[in-house]
Structure formats: structure tokens, C-alpha cells
Structure 1
Amino acid sequence: EWKRQKYALGEKFKGKAWNPVKKLSRDEMESVRLLKRELPDMTSKDLSDHFKISPEAIRRILKSKWTPSLEE
């Protein structure tokens, strides 16, 4: 499953770095995570419609564990 998705993303971006047109603030990203925790039945498509970003962006936000350090 993940190999198929990785291959599809590679084909879609043709080896270029992923750079979404619309970017969310840290607070909005936390809102995405909070909403997913509170409503686990919501799909990435539902969340992307709500926040008006791509399902791929939602998937990456939910997958990411990075948090800024105090210096950042």
C-alpha cells in the first residue's frame, strides 16, 4: 500500500520537491490534528474540504511529528 502511494507521488511530482500552493500556520496545523483526534471518523478528504487544502497536505500534517524548538 505505502509503496504504491510512494510511487504515485513520485510520478505526480516527477522527482521535484513537494511545495504546496496554500500553506497552513502552526495553529491551523494543530487544529487539523485536534479535529482528527476528536473526530477519528473524518477522512483526509473531509479535512481537506474543511481547511481548503489538498488531501496530501492533510496526510503530511497528520504524519508529521516535528515541532519547532524554542529557538525557532
Structure 2
Amino acid sequence: MAVLGKLVHYSIDLALISTALAGIRRTTGLTPKIDNPDGTVGMAVKRYLEVGELVIDHSSAWLASTKYFRRE
């Protein structure tokens, strides 16, 4: 059971880092430089960063639907 807990913990940490990188990309336009975007590692990094984009999109849509936040 401890292994499963660590796996969940590390997965959440990786998603948070990806979300932070996606936020940096959206606010500043800076993106990580990937040497070979068509290679296996490049595709994995691209998919990893897409997770952060997905988290930002879904969380902002959810927050906009609550009564505690509003768009300006």
C-alpha cells in the first residue's frame, strides 16, 4: 500500500509542476527548448506539458462556474 501512496504522491507532484510550467508559458510565452521534438523523449515532454495545459483549462472553467470567482 505504501508504494501506491508514493505513486499517487509523485503523480500529483508531476502534474503540479506541469501546471506551473503551463502557467509560465501562458503568462510569459517562455517554453522549454526541446532538441528533437519528433523523438520519443520530445514527444513524452510534449505530452507531459499538455497535461498542465489540460489542468489549467479544466480548473479555470470549474472556478469560473462557481460563485466565488468572476472574470474581469
What is the TM-score normalised by the length of structure 1? 0.32
| Structure with the larger RCO, 1 or 2 (CA within 8 Å, 6+ apart) | 2
Larger fraction in helix: 2
State the structure with more CA Rg: 2
What is the TM-score normalised by the length of structure 2? 0.32
